[in-house]
Amino acid sequence: MEGRSNTWIGLTLLGICLAIGIIISSLLVAKTVEKVKIQNQRIQVKGFAEKIISSDLVVWQGRITTRSTDLVTAYSKLQKDLQKVLAYLEQKGINKEKVDVSSVTTIIQYQLTSEGITTNVIDGYVLDQTISITSPNVTEVSQIANESTSLIEEGIEFASYAPQYFYTKLDDLKIQLLGEATKNAKMRAEQIASNSGSDVGELRYASQGVFQITPVNSTDVSDYGMYDTSTIEKSIKAVVTIEYSIR
């Protein structure tokens, strides 16, 4: 009986030890899994930065057109009209040496039959020439572009194209905005992590989005980025995607 009692006690102690071992092992595994899970936690946020800029360069074009049944007459009038346009621009403060003048484009117009079929008989000529101005005087050139159609009153067939406005320091500004967008992303990550009782760890991933240069207050976006040239005042927006570890 004593032998059986000792055996039972031994088995009981063995069972207790095994149970304790299993419990300890389970706790260790749970802690390890929790640690791995925390170490693998990441947070991904987007950072945003925006700045209003004023264009510092304008490109403007206008077209002079003449028409005549005689080619020489049409060309002669075109040259006279060109000189009038250059004189007009000089009065407005634009030296003619700063004006680019294109070569002459000639279009031959042919007579049509009563059925609308083109014949080989020349009906007349249309000649045109384009003037172009590139200047840092954005406001002045913009005003000239708006008023230039007054040349029509002098018998000149003149068409003014919409000016295009550019900002020449974009590269430097893009670097600045990327820095601000990155700081904005870090603030967002810290706020989210703080709300969950965690801290932001190392930077794991960063991606730069495309820049959107749009009219002020515009909500237009493009996957390829935008560059508005129709307005003097513009908004440039930068977005970055940042991923941090959480500890």
Q: At which of 116, 140, 165 does a domain end? A: 165
DSSP calls for 98-137: GEEEPPPEEEEEEEE-TTS-EEEEEEEEEEEEEEEEEES-
Residues 177 and 144 in one domain: no
Return d(Cα 133, Cα 156) in angstroms, integer.
19
Q: Does 234 lie in the same domain as 175?
A: yes
The CATH number of the domain where 147 resides is what? 3.30.70.2970
CA 197 distance to own-chain centroid: 37
pLDDT score recorded for residue 194: 85
Which residues contact residue 53 at a Cβ distance below 8 angstroms, ignoring those fewer than 6 apart? 167, 173, 233, 234, 235, 236
Main-chain phi, psi angles of 60, to 5 degrees: -130, 140
Predicted model pTM: 0.77
* 8-state DSSP, 235: E
The pLDDT of residue 247 is 82
pLDDT in tens, the chain (247 residues): 555 555 555 556 555 655 554 554 444 434 433 333 444 688 889 999 999 999 999 999 999 999 999 999 999 999 999 999 999 999 999 998 899 999 999 999 999 988 888 899 999 999 999 999 999 999 999 999 999 989 999 999 999 999 999 999 999 999 999 999 999 999 998 888 888 788 888 888 889 999 999 999 998 889 889 999 999 999 999 999 999 988 8
Domain coverage including residue 77: 57-165
Assess whether 73 and 94 both reside in one domain: yes
Which stretches of 152-225 are DSSP H helices? 170-195
How many domains is the chain built from? Answer: 3
123 plus 182 within the same structural domain: no
> What is the CATH classification number for the domain harbouring 179?
3.30.110.170
Q: Please report the pLDDT score of residue 203 as a whole number.
A: 87
- Do 182 and 140 lie in one domain? The reply is no
Query: CA-CA distances (angstroms) from residue 7 to 1, 2, 3, 11, 17?
Result: 10, 9, 6, 6, 15
Q: Read out DSSP for 34-84?
A: HHHHHHT-EEEEEEEEEEEEE--EEEEEEEEEEEESSHHHHHHHHHHHHHH
* Distance in angstroms (rounded) separating the CA atoms of residues 102 and 128: 9
